[in-house]
Copies of this chain bind each other. A is one copy, B any other.
Amino acid sequence: MKSREIRLKSRPVGMTKTTDFETAEVDLGAPAAGQVLVRNRWMSVDPYMRGRMYDRPSYVPPFQIGEALQGGAIGEVVESADGGFAPGDLVSSMLGWREDFIAPASALEKLPVSLGSGGVPPQAYLGVMGMPGLTAYAGLLEIGQPKPGETVFVSGGAGAVGSLVAQIAKLKGCTVVASAGSDAKCEWLKSAGVDHAINYKHGNLLDQVRSAAPKGIDVYFDNVGGEHLEVAIELARTNARLVECGMIGSYNAAEPTPGPRNMIMIVGKSLTLRGFIVFNFAHLRPQFLTDMGGWLAAGQIRVEETVMDGLDKAPDAFLALFSGGNTGKMLVKL
């Protein structure tokens, strides 16, 4: 059978463009013994994928030009030549950016939900119950170590990760300051219980955060880097923890961007900046699924999605991550 996939056509220079991608048709054949034919229903686009478009050593190998991109996806088994999977099973894989694919059973993980079963929808396993959820959970709780009554500042607060960080911090008894790039996103953050939502495009960021957190910041969860990180260092209290999850502001920079001008405060205020990759916190996944599943069932976490339709929209969905086009998890429905 035929499928379609999105390939990397050229390595982006500066801001990624839709012309850096191309769509190709591929002939899949039929699954051999131990293989499974899957039709993707949902695929994820995530900011970290930008890093894989550079040709450089990293914690994941770079995407190759002329080859299909990869990323989290939720699909439905169409045909199985493996005893562990049957048609209709919902599976998670890293084989997004394509409509159908054949893969060994070892590349698939069966979801504990089925289509139309109610409860947690399948695409939640790309967001709140998936990698972004575990990123928020592990980064905030393990690295940030927030204590009740402390102040947590999160940038990219309306994003897939940030929106969960903000809400988990509230569940842990913290005062939460979150920044986002539009008034609509700030309204959403307020509706999700965040104490102070700041539109960083309006007025001086330092002044706004200082006014929201007059006693300073105990935990900063960094999704954007740049000015936000400088502001967080400036307002950090002694012994504050700065969780370095991402710096989306620099992912498409053609030239290296200077770091914060107040690095010296790391010494005087005994700050800890710690970067992390969610893959290194896989051991927390069972606890995360239990906790997050419970919070969702109890209505304690609000989930927002931005959905684009069809494989051809995948490049647009990816690009929109860098222009603030999503509230909550950005998904492509296939």
Contacts and interface: CB of A to CB of B under 8 A. Distances in A.
Given A259-B258, A259-B263, A277 B273 contact: no
A56 to B, nearest CB: 10
Contacts of A280: 270
A277 B271 CA distance: 10
Given A247-B263, A263-B247, A268 B272 contact: no
Contact of A259 (B246, B261, B268): B261
A268 B280 CA distance: 11
Interface residues of A, number: 35
A257 B238 CA distance: 22
A143 B28 CA distance: 53
A267 B247 contact: yes
A298 interface: no
A267 B276 contact: yes
A262 B256 CA distance: 7
Contacts of A275: 265-272
A269 B56 CA distance: 13
Contacts of A201: none
A139 to B, nearest CB: 10
Q: Quick one: copies of this chain in the complex?
A: 2
A280 B251 CA distance: 37
Contacts of A273: 266, 271-274
Interface string A267-292: 11111111111001000000000000
Contact of A261 (B244, B257, B261): B257
Nearest to A242: B273
A88 interface: no
A323 interface: no
A250 interface: yes
Contacts of A257: 261
A247 B268 CA distance: 10
Most chain B beta carbons < 10 A, residue from A58, A229, A245, A274? A274
Contact of A267 (B238, B260, B272, B277): B277
A268 B277 contact: yes
A225 interface: yes
A282 to B, nearest CB: 14
Interface of A: 51, 58-59, 225, 229, 238, 244-247, 250-251, 256-277, 280
